Amino acid sequence: MAQADITGRTRILGLIADPVAQARAPAMGNALLQQRGQFGSFVLLPMQVPAGALGEVLAGLRLIRNFAGAVVSMPHKTTIVTLLDELTPAARLVAAVNVVRRTADGRLIGTALDGEGFVAGLRSAGDEIAGASCMLVGAGGTASAIAFALAAHGCRSLTITNRTAAKAAFLAARVCAEFPDVQIRHGAASDGAYDVAINATSLGMNAGDELPMTLEVVERSALIAECVLAPEMTRLLEIAHARNRLIHTGVPMLAAQIDLMLRFMGVE
Protein backbone atom coordinates (compact mmCIF):
# COMPACT_ATOMS: atom_id res chain seq x y z
CA MET A 1 0.00 0.00 0.00
CA ALA A 2 1.67 3.19 -1.15
CA GLN A 3 1.36 5.98 1.43
CA ALA A 4 1.71 8.57 -1.33
CA ASP A 5 -1.70 7.51 -2.64
CA ILE A 6 -3.39 8.67 0.58
CA THR A 7 -4.20 12.38 0.42
CA GLY A 8 -6.48 14.90 2.09
CA ARG A 9 -9.13 13.96 -0.47
CA THR A 10 -9.12 10.26 0.39
CA ARG A 11 -12.52 8.93 1.49
CA ILE A 12 -12.41 6.44 4.34
CA LEU A 13 -14.13 3.07 4.30
CA GLY A 14 -14.07 0.86 7.36
CA LEU A 15 -14.52 -2.66 8.66
CA ILE A 16 -16.37 -2.53 11.98
CA ALA A 17 -15.81 -5.77 13.91
CA ASP A 18 -14.31 -7.29 17.04
CA PRO A 19 -11.86 -8.93 16.60
CA VAL A 20 -10.40 -7.61 13.34
CA ALA A 21 -6.93 -9.18 13.28
CA GLN A 22 -8.16 -12.10 11.17
CA ALA A 23 -10.30 -9.99 8.84
CA ARG A 24 -9.87 -10.38 5.08
CA ALA A 25 -12.15 -7.55 3.95
CA PRO A 26 -9.52 -4.77 4.18
CA ALA A 27 -6.98 -6.64 2.05
CA MET A 28 -9.57 -7.82 -0.47
CA GLY A 29 -11.30 -4.45 -0.68
CA ASN A 30 -8.09 -2.47 -1.10
CA ALA A 31 -6.81 -4.95 -3.69
CA LEU A 32 -9.97 -4.42 -5.73
CA LEU A 33 -9.64 -0.65 -5.38
CA GLN A 34 -6.05 -0.87 -6.63
CA GLN A 35 -7.06 -3.04 -9.58
CA ARG A 36 -9.55 -0.36 -10.58
CA GLY A 37 -7.21 2.55 -10.04
CA GLN A 38 -9.43 3.83 -7.21
CA PHE A 39 -7.09 3.24 -4.29
CA GLY A 40 -6.22 6.64 -2.88
CA SER A 41 -9.62 8.02 -3.74
CA PHE A 42 -10.82 5.44 -1.19
CA VAL A 43 -9.08 3.30 1.43
CA LEU A 44 -10.60 0.54 3.56
CA LEU A 45 -9.34 0.40 7.15
CA PRO A 46 -10.01 -2.08 9.99
CA MET A 47 -11.84 -0.61 12.99
CA GLN A 48 -11.86 -2.80 16.10
CA VAL A 49 -15.05 -1.80 17.91
CA PRO A 50 -16.14 -3.63 21.09
CA ALA A 51 -19.84 -4.33 21.44
CA GLY A 52 -20.43 -1.76 24.17
CA ALA A 53 -18.91 1.06 22.13
CA LEU A 54 -20.80 0.60 18.87
CA GLY A 55 -23.29 3.42 19.44
CA GLU A 56 -20.58 5.92 20.36
CA VAL A 57 -18.44 4.93 17.39
CA LEU A 58 -21.35 5.35 14.96
CA ALA A 59 -22.12 8.75 16.45
CA GLY A 60 -18.55 9.81 15.73
CA LEU A 61 -18.53 8.38 12.21
CA ARG A 62 -21.62 10.44 11.37
CA LEU A 63 -19.50 13.56 11.97
CA ILE A 64 -16.52 12.50 9.83
CA ARG A 65 -17.28 14.05 6.47
CA ASN A 66 -14.84 11.94 4.49
CA PHE A 67 -16.14 8.69 6.02
CA ALA A 68 -18.06 6.95 3.21
CA GLY A 69 -19.19 3.70 4.83
CA ALA A 70 -18.20 0.47 6.47
CA VAL A 71 -18.42 -3.28 6.20
CA VAL A 72 -20.03 -4.64 9.38
CA SER A 73 -18.99 -7.99 10.82
CA MET A 74 -19.32 -10.01 14.02
CA PRO A 75 -20.57 -9.27 16.63
CA HIS A 76 -22.41 -6.19 15.32
CA LYS A 77 -24.61 -7.37 12.45
CA THR A 78 -27.86 -7.46 14.41
CA THR A 79 -27.19 -4.92 17.15
CA ILE A 80 -26.36 -2.20 14.62
CA VAL A 81 -29.84 -2.37 13.09
CA THR A 82 -31.54 -0.12 15.67
CA LEU A 83 -28.68 2.40 15.58
CA LEU A 84 -29.05 3.28 11.89
CA ASP A 85 -31.24 5.90 10.23
CA GLU A 86 -32.50 3.73 7.39
CA LEU A 87 -32.51 0.11 6.28
CA THR A 88 -32.90 -1.30 2.78
CA PRO A 89 -35.73 -3.80 2.24
CA ALA A 90 -33.18 -6.63 2.38
CA ALA A 91 -31.88 -5.48 5.76
CA ARG A 92 -35.40 -5.08 7.14
CA LEU A 93 -36.28 -8.58 5.98
CA VAL A 94 -33.33 -10.31 7.66
CA ALA A 95 -33.09 -7.85 10.60
CA ALA A 96 -29.34 -7.63 10.09
CA VAL A 97 -26.80 -5.39 8.34
CA ASN A 98 -23.34 -6.11 6.97
CA VAL A 99 -22.56 -2.86 5.16
CA VAL A 100 -23.37 0.78 5.94
CA ARG A 101 -23.27 3.91 3.77
CA ARG A 102 -22.91 7.46 5.11
CA THR A 103 -24.87 10.10 3.21
CA ALA A 104 -23.63 13.66 2.68
CA ASP A 105 -25.75 14.89 5.60
CA GLY A 106 -24.43 12.26 8.01
CA ARG A 107 -27.25 9.72 7.87
CA LEU A 108 -26.31 6.04 8.03
CA ILE A 109 -28.07 3.53 5.75
CA GLY A 110 -27.59 -0.22 6.11
CA THR A 111 -28.14 -3.22 3.88
CA ALA A 112 -27.58 -6.99 4.05
CA LEU A 113 -25.52 -8.83 1.43
CA ASP A 114 -24.37 -11.96 3.27
CA GLY A 115 -27.13 -14.19 1.94
CA GLU A 116 -26.72 -13.34 -1.72
CA GLY A 117 -22.95 -13.45 -1.25
CA PHE A 118 -23.13 -16.96 0.17
CA VAL A 119 -25.28 -18.27 -2.68
CA ALA A 120 -23.10 -16.54 -5.28
CA GLY A 121 -20.01 -18.05 -3.67
CA LEU A 122 -21.52 -21.53 -3.90
CA ARG A 123 -22.45 -20.97 -7.52
CA SER A 124 -18.92 -19.83 -8.32
CA ALA A 125 -17.79 -23.27 -7.16
CA GLY A 126 -20.40 -25.00 -9.33
CA ASP A 127 -22.89 -25.77 -6.55
CA GLU A 128 -26.60 -24.91 -6.75
CA ILE A 129 -29.19 -24.31 -4.04
CA ALA A 130 -32.35 -24.86 -6.09
CA GLY A 131 -33.96 -28.10 -4.97
CA ALA A 132 -31.38 -28.74 -2.25
CA SER A 133 -31.96 -30.02 1.27
CA CYS A 134 -30.10 -27.64 3.59
CA MET A 135 -29.15 -27.49 7.24
CA LEU A 136 -28.10 -24.15 8.76
CA VAL A 137 -26.34 -23.78 12.10
CA GLY A 138 -26.90 -20.34 13.63
CA ALA A 139 -29.61 -17.73 13.97
CA GLY A 140 -27.66 -14.47 14.11
CA GLY A 141 -27.17 -11.86 11.41
CA THR A 142 -25.17 -13.96 8.96
CA ALA A 143 -27.40 -16.98 9.46
CA SER A 144 -30.57 -14.93 9.00
CA ALA A 145 -29.36 -13.49 5.71
CA ILE A 146 -28.34 -16.93 4.47
CA ALA A 147 -31.64 -18.52 5.53
CA PHE A 148 -33.69 -16.04 3.52
CA ALA A 149 -31.33 -16.36 0.53
CA LEU A 150 -31.52 -20.16 0.55
CA ALA A 151 -35.32 -19.98 0.51
CA ALA A 152 -35.35 -17.25 -2.14
CA HIS A 153 -33.14 -19.35 -4.40
CA GLY A 154 -35.41 -22.36 -4.15
CA CYS A 155 -34.00 -24.79 -1.63
CA ARG A 156 -36.35 -27.72 -1.14
CA SER A 157 -36.04 -27.83 2.65
CA LEU A 158 -34.22 -25.95 5.41
CA THR A 159 -33.47 -27.07 8.95
CA ILE A 160 -32.30 -24.30 11.31
CA THR A 161 -30.51 -25.25 14.50
CA ASN A 162 -29.00 -22.95 17.09
CA ARG A 163 -27.61 -23.10 20.61
CA THR A 164 -30.51 -20.89 21.73
CA ALA A 165 -33.50 -22.82 20.43
CA ALA A 166 -35.90 -19.86 20.65
CA LYS A 167 -33.79 -17.88 18.18
CA ALA A 168 -33.86 -20.76 15.70
CA ALA A 169 -37.62 -21.00 16.07
CA PHE A 170 -38.04 -17.26 15.54
CA LEU A 171 -35.88 -17.26 12.41
CA ALA A 172 -37.67 -20.33 11.02
CA ALA A 173 -41.05 -18.65 11.53
CA ARG A 174 -39.93 -15.50 9.72
CA VAL A 175 -38.53 -17.40 6.74
CA CYS A 176 -41.63 -19.62 6.58
CA ALA A 177 -43.91 -16.57 6.53
CA GLU A 178 -41.98 -15.15 3.57
CA PHE A 179 -41.50 -18.44 1.70
CA PRO A 180 -44.39 -20.77 2.62
CA ASP A 181 -43.55 -23.25 -0.15
CA VAL A 182 -40.20 -24.20 1.41
CA GLN A 183 -40.20 -26.99 4.00
CA ILE A 184 -38.73 -25.30 7.07
CA ARG A 185 -38.10 -26.80 10.48
CA HIS A 186 -36.05 -25.85 13.52
CA GLY A 187 -34.37 -27.75 16.30
CA ALA A 188 -31.97 -30.68 16.17
CA ALA A 189 -30.79 -32.00 12.82
CA SER A 190 -33.12 -34.60 11.32
CA ASP A 191 -32.06 -38.16 10.59
CA GLY A 192 -32.08 -37.65 6.84
CA ALA A 193 -29.33 -36.63 4.47
CA TYR A 194 -28.50 -33.04 3.55
CA ASP A 195 -27.20 -31.70 0.28
CA VAL A 196 -25.61 -28.74 2.08
CA ALA A 197 -24.81 -28.24 5.79
CA ILE A 198 -23.71 -24.71 6.68
CA ASN A 199 -21.95 -23.26 9.71
CA ALA A 200 -23.11 -19.64 10.04
CA THR A 201 -21.79 -19.17 13.59
CA SER A 202 -18.40 -17.92 14.77
CA LEU A 203 -17.45 -21.41 16.01
CA GLY A 204 -14.20 -22.35 14.32
CA MET A 205 -12.45 -19.00 14.60
CA ASN A 206 -10.54 -20.17 17.67
CA ALA A 207 -8.57 -23.39 18.00
CA GLY A 208 -10.47 -24.58 21.07
CA ASP A 209 -13.97 -24.05 19.68
CA GLU A 210 -16.42 -26.93 19.73
CA LEU A 211 -17.69 -28.20 16.41
CA PRO A 212 -20.81 -26.35 15.23
CA MET A 213 -22.41 -29.60 14.04
CA THR A 214 -22.07 -33.25 14.99
CA LEU A 215 -19.93 -35.76 13.17
CA GLU A 216 -23.13 -37.62 12.29
CA VAL A 217 -24.40 -34.57 10.41
CA VAL A 218 -21.07 -34.28 8.60
CA GLU A 219 -21.33 -37.93 7.54
CA ARG A 220 -24.89 -37.42 6.26
CA SER A 221 -24.13 -34.25 4.28
CA ALA A 222 -22.83 -34.08 0.72
CA LEU A 223 -21.28 -30.61 1.14
CA ILE A 224 -20.05 -28.84 4.29
CA ALA A 225 -19.93 -25.04 3.94
CA GLU A 226 -18.32 -22.50 6.26
CA CYS A 227 -18.90 -18.81 6.88
CA VAL A 228 -15.82 -18.43 9.09
CA LEU A 229 -13.13 -16.66 7.08
CA ALA A 230 -10.06 -17.21 9.24
CA PRO A 231 -8.76 -19.76 9.51
CA GLU A 232 -9.90 -20.61 6.01
CA MET A 233 -9.67 -24.33 6.79
CA THR A 234 -11.54 -24.65 10.07
CA ARG A 235 -11.50 -27.85 12.11
CA LEU A 236 -14.99 -28.59 10.76
CA LEU A 237 -13.74 -28.43 7.18
CA GLU A 238 -10.66 -30.50 7.99
CA ILE A 239 -12.84 -33.21 9.52
CA ALA A 240 -15.26 -33.09 6.59
CA HIS A 241 -12.41 -33.32 4.08
CA ALA A 242 -10.92 -36.30 5.94
CA ARG A 243 -14.30 -38.02 5.60
CA ASN A 244 -14.38 -37.35 1.85
CA ARG A 245 -17.13 -34.76 2.06
CA LEU A 246 -17.13 -31.85 -0.37
CA ILE A 247 -16.14 -28.63 1.41
CA HIS A 248 -16.69 -24.93 0.78
CA THR A 249 -14.75 -22.27 2.71
CA GLY A 250 -16.06 -18.88 3.83
CA VAL A 251 -13.81 -16.91 1.49
CA PRO A 252 -16.00 -17.16 -1.67
CA MET A 253 -18.92 -15.61 0.24
CA LEU A 254 -16.87 -12.49 1.02
CA ALA A 255 -15.25 -12.40 -2.42
CA ALA A 256 -18.68 -12.43 -4.06
CA GLN A 257 -19.76 -9.48 -1.94
CA ILE A 258 -16.74 -7.16 -2.10
CA ASP A 259 -17.78 -5.43 -5.32
CA LEU A 260 -21.38 -5.07 -4.10
CA MET A 261 -20.18 -3.68 -0.77
CA LEU A 262 -17.94 -1.09 -2.41
CA ARG A 263 -20.75 0.00 -4.71
CA PHE A 264 -23.16 0.38 -1.79
CA MET A 265 -20.61 2.56 0.02
CA GLY A 266 -20.38 4.86 -2.97
CA VAL A 267 -17.43 3.47 -4.91
CA GLU A 268 -18.62 3.65 -8.50
- Per DSSP (E only), the strands in 3-151 are 11-17, 42-48, 67-72, 86-87, 99-102, 108-111, 133-137
Contact predicate 110/84, CB 8 Å: yes
Q: Is 165 exposed, middle or buried (0-12, 13-18, 19+ CB in 10 A)?
A: middle
- The CA distance from 212 to 215, in Å, is 10
Catalytic residue check, 167: no
Options 76, 77, 101, 186, the catalytic residue:
77
Cβ(144)–Cβ(116) below 8 Å:
no
Task: Tell me the C-alpha distance between 1 and 41, whole Å.
Answer: 13
Catalytically annotated residues:
77
